[in-house]
Each structure stands twice: as structure tokens, then as C-alpha cells.
Amino acid sequence: MNLILPSLALVVGTAQSTKIPPTSEWNTLNKTVGGRLFTAKPFASPCFSDFAGLPAASNEAECNTVQENYLNTTFRSSQFNNFMIPIWESCMDTDQQCALDSSDPSNPLAFSDLPCYQGSVAPYHIEIETFTDVQAAFNFSKATGVPLSIKNSGHDYLGRSGIPGSLALWTRHLEQISYNASFIPEGGSHSFPAMTIGAGVPWQDAYSFADANNVTIVGGYDQTVGASGGWVMGGGHSDLSPVFGLGVDRVLQFKLVTPDGVYRTANAYTNSDLFWALRGGGGGTFGVVLESTTLVEPTTIPLQVASVSFDATGTNSSVDFLQLLTENSLGWAQAGWGSHMTLSGLVSINPLLTLDQARESMQNITEYVQSQNGSVVIETLPSWYAFFVKYVIPSQSPIGIDGAIATRLIPASVFETQKGRNSLVEVISNAAPFLLTISAVTPFLFNYTENSTSVTPAWRDSLWHVVLGDLWSWNTTTEGTITAFETLNNLTAALTDIAPNSGAYMNEANVYEPNYEQTFWGSNYPRLLAVKQKYDPEGLLDCWRCVGWKGENDSRSQCYLKVD
């Protein structure tokens, strides 16, 4: 066991007073976790011949593989040493990165004469296999003061799956999935059709498994987001959520190790306070989840699909289309549609209507799009999986590119008045160059039991989750990045003005959300904080704008820029 301590000393060089444990302690930890403790350098490091100011051997073959897969979501998520958005691999505050040019990963300007820095990529990680690995990590962190981070797919938009100088718990290899037609939560008596999913399983695997078992699972619009990690703990929306609820509404049970070292089951009967907190309080906060069990629909469900698009450049048609979206959205929500919309089209699905009803429900949008010589497809597909393969995979959001988002949940009441619709049209039109998607994914028809989850109650009466975003490039200056974040703050403020009493989805929020406790959790925050203090009294787990966050002066936050 050869531990490369000098490099660790370098990588934590900027950390405030984290004492580096001696090799012997790492070796002991490695033994406890069955030899699954590893060191890592950032994803693009094989391309660089300078590591943190010292000469390092680049590796052409490995560099080529990284270049070829720089934007490949499946490849990225199979490796520990990266995040989907490369800014989270870097240390923005000290302008230290190890990145390629995402517009041309072979561009030598990005790596040939520049150093690679460890940034926010954890220098050590454990490939988690069992709950005792997690217990060992908590013991180690308590004894040494080394901070812990938890990484699954690395999709987090607020960079919470990486902490500089941390020991990371990588859950990606918890890949087991099973289906039980009559699952009973421990301590309960009712049975449910349910899938139990390890905390490393990406949605694409959960979907193909569900399809093979002829059941429908409600999950995200993405291949590689994890089914049992941050997605479900933060809320978890799906195009099926308008009818079947959010991820937090459907989860039946978690198995996790809480920071007090205890391996627990959390469900409606056992540790129910913890269960409530895990249903919306966020990942990385209450413990390390090893698996979750979630309700499935016992059959595959045919879906009506509407896919329309037209060329909206050079005319005012995008505003006309947006106006139509605001006028139709309430009716569509009542009919059970879930949608991803832009100013030049939409892709929507509906599990409740017949094909004829779907055509009628979409009629005035299809007429409009036809008047613009656009394309209209309204069809029936046999299952969510068929939809996923035909529509979701080909429209994969860009990854491997630097950027961030600004979002807000827009209440149904805004859509009920002309004044409300006009304000929405105005704000979104003004922000048009930044619009990524308008997601109509709120649980509008779902019969929610009040107080059963800890997501902001704003989810329950909203129609839209508006997502604005800004992208930048590998060589944007620190000043340029700060300006981009300030732009996102301003965009967030404009959305907040339309819906001041609403909230935002904690998993897809502005990194610098000013009033995050209220915005992410609303009236649930005080109770969430109490649960956090009960199960993690020493604050062993902490992350950016999470429940109980220690704040931006804590060393864990050292790589975030200071942005007002």
C-alpha cells in the first residue's frame, strides 16, 4: 500500500487547517474497507504534464480516451474523478482547474502549457460496498477531522457532490436492483409493488429493469442521474409526476448509515422523522443511503406523446407560442400532461388520455405550429421505456460544459389571470436567450397527504418549474464567471418577483440562492434542522446550502466564488 502523501499535501494546500493523517491511518482505513480506498486525480489530468506546479507524466492514450468522452455522460458517470459540470472539479475561488475545452476537447491550449490542479476532486475515495464501509468512514472523519463527501453520479448543479480535500464515499458500485410485487416496509403491514434500488443505479438501468418486469417506475428525464441518491432525497421530478407524484411521494423506505454510525431503516413506521427528512431535505445531509425502495405502477402504461417544434427565429412567433403555453398549461395539467417546453416546441406525455383526447387537448398548439410550418407528432407509445428510448436519450442535456442555472416554481394562480400570464410572458421573453426549459413536472393531480414530505410545499400548487441557464467556456476569466453568476442571480430575482411566495427545486436551483432555507423547504425548514441535529449532532456531513449548512466561511466551501 503506497500512499502518495506529498500529492495530498499539495491538494489540500489551500484548505484551512485540515491536518493530513499519517499514512498508517490511511492504511488502517484501507484494511477496514477491504482494500477499496483509492486515490484519484482529476478526469483530464492524463493530458497535463504539470500537476500543481510540479512536472508530471502525461499519458497520451489515457488523454485520448478522456478527450473522446469529455461530453459523454455514461462515461463520465462511470468514473469517480469528475463531475457532470466541470466547474465543480475546479477550485473557482483560486482559479485552479484541470479542464479541457468542451467545444473542442483536443484543443491543446487548454492543457499543453497549463498546470492541472486537484481542485474539488477528492484525493481519496472509498468505493462503497457495504454499510460497514460507511461506518469506517465516519469513524475516520471523526478521528482525523478529514471532511467527508458523498458522490453518486456527480450531476449536482450546486457542486455538492465534491468537497476539496475530502474523503469521498463513492456509491456508484451499489448497483443491485430488484422487484417485489408485494413489498412490505419494515414494521408495516400493507404491501406495495416496489423496486429496491442500490444507491449507484442510474435511471437508464432502473428503466430497463422496470420494463423487463412489466412495471412503470417514475423517474427523471436523464440517463445517468441516480435513482436512489440526490434525485430522490431532494424531490425528484419526472414527466410522470403530474399524475404519479414526485420521487419523494413514491419512496417507501431507505436504508442508510446516519452520521452517528448506526445502520438504519427509515420508513413510515421506523425512524419516521428521518424518513420524512429524507423525503425532500436533500442528499449529503442526513446520512449515506445504500438503497431506496420505491413504489412502482404494477403494469407498463401506454403514453400519449405530443412532440411539436417549429423554427422560431427571426419573427415574434416565440412570444406568441409562449403566450399559448401560458394559456393552455392549466388545462394541460388538469388533463395529466407532463412536459418539457421551449419557445419553439414541446415534448409532452400523458398516461390518462386516449389518442383522440390527446389530439383534442393539444389542438390549438398544433394548429399554431402548423401555421408556422413546423412539425407535429402525436402518437401512442407502449410504455415509459419506449418514450425514454425514442425521446429522452436523443435529447440528452449537454454535460461536460461549464455553466449553472436559475430556477423557480411558478404557482397555478399565476396562470389564472391575464395579468399573471402577461407577467410570465414578459419575464421569460426578456430572459429568452437564457431559457433552457420550462418543465411542467409538478405533482398537480397527485393526491398528496399533507406534511408527508419535506420538499417546499410550493411544489404542490405550482404548474411550471422554469429553468434558465448560462454557459461559459474553459478559459472564461474569474471575473467573467462572477458576472455569469451575477446574471443568474438577476434572472432568479426576476422569476422570484412573479412568484414571491413560491419556492425553488433544491436540486436545480441557483447556486447563490439568497434565501435558500425558505426557498428550498418553506415551512419545513425548522423541523428539518431538528432532525439534522438529532442524527448528526457533530455536523460530520455538510454541504453548500444544505440543511444545517455551516456557511461559506467553512473550509468545505473554500472553492466557491464569493458572489453577491
Ligand X SMILES: *[C@@H]1O[C@H](CO)[C@@H](O)[C@H](O)[C@H]1NC(C)=O
Ligand Y SMILES: Cc1cc2nc3c(=O)[nH]c(=O)nc-3n(C[C@H](O)[C@H](O)[C@H](O)COP(=O)(O)OP(=O)(O)OC[C@H]3O[C@@H](n4cnc5c(N)ncnc54)[C@H](O)[C@@H]3O)c2cc1C
* Comparison of 66 and 558: residue with beta carbon closer to ligand X: 66
Q: Do the Cβ atoms of 409 and 237 come closer than 8 Å?
A: no
Residue 340 found at the interface with ligand Y (CB under 6 A)? no
Report helix, strand or coil for 213.
Answer: coil
**Size of residue set near ligand Y by CB under 6 A:** 34
In eight-state DSSP terms, residue 204 is H
DSSP string for 17-53: SPPPPPHHHHHHHHHHTTT-EEE---TTGGG-SEETT
Binding mask 95-134 for ligand X (x = CB under 6 A): ------x-----x-x----------------------x--
Residue 443 found at the interface with ligand Y (CB under 6 A)? no
* CB atoms inside a 10 Å sphere around CB 19: 10
Residue 456 found at the interface with ligand Y (CB under 6 A)? no
| Cα distance between residue 200 and residue 208, in whole Å | 15
Output Rg (C-alpha) for the chain, integer angstroms.
23
Q: Where are the alpha helices (DSSP H) in 100-130?
A: none
| Cα distance between residue 165 and residue 52, in whole Å | 14
Handedness of CA 59, 64, 65, 66 (dihedral sign): positive
Torsion, Cα of 447, 220, 560, 407 (10° steps): -60
Q: Which does 299 bind (CB under 5 to 8 A by kind): ligand X, ligand Y, none?
A: none
* CB atoms inside a 10 Å sphere around CB 534: 14
Sole binder of ligand Y in the list 14, 69, 97, 161 (CB under 6 A): 161
Q: Do the Cβ atoms of 292 and 254 come closer than 8 Å?
A: yes
Q: Pull the grid cell for residue 122.
A: 477528492
* Comparison of 16 and 490: residue with beta carbon closer to ligand X: 490
Binding mask 407-446 for ligand X (x = CB under 6 A): --------------------------------------xx
Residue 123 found at the interface with ligand Y (CB under 6 A)? no
Interface with ligand X in residues 317-346 (CB under 6 A): 327-328, 331
Q: How far is the CB of 490 from ligand X (least distance, A)?
A: 4
* Comparison of 221 and 275: residue with beta carbon closer to ligand Y: 221
User: Residue 554, class by beta-carbon neighbours within 10 Å (0-12 exposed, 13-18 middle, 19+ buried)?
Assistant: middle
What kind and span of H or E run contains 357?
A: helix 355-361
Sole binder of ligand Y in the list 127, 211, 222, 249 (CB under 6 A): 222
Piece in contact with ligand X (CB under 6 A), picked from 73-81, 158-166, 201-209, 287-295: 73-81
Q: Which does 316 bind (CB under 5 to 8 A by kind): ligand X, ligand Y, none?
A: ligand X
Residue 216 found at the interface with ligand X (CB under 6 A)? no
* Comparison of 237 and 250: residue with beta carbon closer to ligand Y: 237
* Comparison of 225 and 306: residue with beta carbon closer to ligand Y: 225
| Cα distance between residue 486 and residue 468, in whole Å | 13
Q: Do the Cβ atoms of 308 and 345 come closer than 8 Å?
A: yes
Piece in contact with ligand X (CB under 6 A), picked from 166-174, 271-279, 475-483, 530-538: 475-483
Q: Which does 395 bind (CB under 5 to 8 A by kind): ligand X, ligand Y, none?
A: none
Residue 72 found at the interface with ligand X (CB under 6 A)? yes
User: Residue 315, class by beta-carbon neighbours within 10 Å (0-12 exposed, 13-18 middle, 19+ buried)?
Assistant: exposed
Q: How far is the CB of 169 from ligand Y (least distance, A)?
A: 8
* Nearest to 536, CA basis, from 285, 279, 277, 288: 285
Q: Pull the grid cell for residue 487.
A: 446574471
In eight-state DSSP terms, residue 390 is I
* Comparison of 135 and 380: residue with beta carbon closer to ligand X: 135
Q: How far is the CB of 182 from ligand Y (least distance, A)?
A: 26
Q: Which does 487 bind (CB under 5 to 8 A by kind): ligand X, ligand Y, none?
A: ligand X
DSSP string for 459-502: GGGEEEEEEEEEEE-TT--HHHHHHHHHHHHHHHHHHHHHSTT-
**Size of residue set near ligand X by CB under 6 A:** 49
In eight-state DSSP terms, residue 113 is T
| Cα distance between residue 145 and residue 155, in whole Å | 26
Report helix, strand or coil for 436.
Answer: strand
Sole binder of ligand Y in the list 216, 507, 510, 557 (CB under 6 A): 507
Q: Looking at beta carbons, which residue is closest to ligand Y?
A: 283
Q: How far is the CB of 344 from ligand Y (least distance, A)?
A: 20
* Comparison of 16 and 191: residue with beta carbon closer to ligand X: 191
Report the helix count and the strand count for the chain, using DSSP H and E: 19, 18
Piece in contact with ligand Y (CB under 6 A), picked from 48-56, 105-113, 137-145, 233-241: 233-241
Sole binder of ligand X in the list 182, 313, 418, 553 (CB under 6 A): 182
| Cα distance between residue 43 and residue 55, in whole Å | 18
| Cα distance between residue 138 and residue 134, in whole Å | 6
Interface with ligand Y in residues 68-87 (CB under 6 A): 84
Interface with ligand X (CB under 6 A): 1, 3, 30, 32, 35, 37-39, 69, 72, 74-75, 78, 101, 107, 109, 132, 135-136, 139, 180, 182-184, 213-214, 243, 261, 315-316, 327-328, 331, 361, 364, 372-373, 445-447, 450-451, 475, 477, 483, 486-487, 490, 523
Interface with ligand Y (CB under 6 A): 84, 150-157, 160-161, 171, 199, 220-222, 225-226, 229-231, 234-237, 283-284, 288-289, 397, 399, 507-508, 543
